[in-house]
Amino acid sequence: MDIGIVGLGLIGGCLGLDYRALGHRVYGVARREETCTAAIAAGVVDQASPDQAILAGMDLVVICTPIAAIVPTLTALVPHLAPHTVVTDVGSVKGEIVAAATALWPRFVGGHPMAGKAEVGLAAAELGLFRQRAYVITPLPETPPDGVDILDGLATSLGAIVLHCAPQAHDRAVAWISHLPVMVSTSLIQACLQESDPMVQQLAQQLASSGFCDTSRVGGGNPELGMMMARYNQGELLRSLRVYQNQLRAIADLIEQGHWDSLETLLQHSHDARSKFL
């Protein structure tokens, strides 16, 4: 297949390496000429250019830009696409994007490969990042089934675990397990910084160990990505935040009222239920 990748960062770079290893021809588009040169040198693409005209005739184009740039990128891309081209994206929010992108290009199929690394950018690209990771495909009722099949087949060939669902179900699910944790975790960092006794503040910083480290990790992650998740998944994130706030209030009430048996029962339930998510 001839596959185009727009945006040669970590995810675009990893997809390029994997697609080429599977024998596809890969064409890259990046804004900067240096990125194009680096992508060819790294073996991520066969050819690359800042000019989207390079993508005329592709079988599939994968938009790997940040969330906010997906729809503008597609708008600019449409004049260059062949009628049979399937377009997909890798955005971590799907509802608004799939609706807007489908209106621009009916052969758009939303996708979300759920893989990443702490490092970002093309230099961090590696083979096999998507192996054994979830790859969610989010068609609308009107999405052409052959386009869905093409994306499904490619994602499967990467070794990913392919799941299909409606865009809204995706956004609701990732609000719980991905976007809510960022806000919960960043609130922990912010709260700890509000200790006003400098001696206790210093002591807290000295005593923090693996528990604090793990619980605060996603809250100390990429600020732009965290903001974009909230911006593009505002409704579902707010819904999950309300449930979370009620839950936290219930736990604070148990502690305030000294209902220790109930608190232990709840902690036991969390202990048992957590394994469902792992």
x-or-dash pattern for a copy of itself, window 48-87, by CB under 8 A? ----------------------------------------
Find tokens 């950018």 and name the residue.
121
Nearer to a copy of itself, 53 or 274 (CB): 274
Q: Does 276 bind a copy of itself (CB under 8 A)?
A: yes
Are 36 and 28 in contact, with CB atoms under 8 Å apart? yes
Cβ neighbours of residue 95 closer than 8 Å, sequence gap 6 or more: 167, 168, 170, 171, 233
Nearer to a copy of itself, 1 or 263 (CB): 263
Total number of residues binding a copy of itself (CB under 8 A)?
A: 92
Query: Minimal distance in Å, beta carbon 160 to a copy of itself?
Result: 12
* Residues 170-189 contacting a copy of itself, CB under 8 A: 170, 172-174, 176-178, 180-189
Query: Minimal distance in Å, beta carbon 67 to a copy of itself?
Result: 12
Q: Does 1 bind a copy of itself (CB under 8 A)?
A: no
Number of other CB atoms surrounding residue 141 within 10 Å: 5
Cβ neighbours of residue 231 closer than 8 Å, sequence gap 6 or more: 67, 68
Task: List % helix, strand, coil for the chain (3-state, nearest 5).
Answer: 60, 15, 30
Query: Minimal distance in Å, beta carbon 268 to a copy of itself?
Result: 4
134, 157, 159, 162: residue in contact with a copy of itself (rule CB under 8 A): 134
2, 46, 59, 195: residue in contact with a copy of itself (rule CB under 8 A): 195
Nearer to a copy of itself, 53 or 191 (CB): 191
Spell out the alpha helix ranges (H) of 165-259.
167-174, 180-192, 198-207, 210-216, 223-232, 234-256
The closest of 109, 5, 10, 127 to 55, measured between CA atoms, is 5
Q: Does 269 bind a copy of itself (CB under 8 A)?
A: yes
Cβ neighbours of residue 141 closer than 8 Å, sequence gap 6 or more: none
* Residues 201-240 contacting a copy of itself, CB under 8 A: 203-209, 211-224, 226-227, 230-231, 234, 237-238, 240
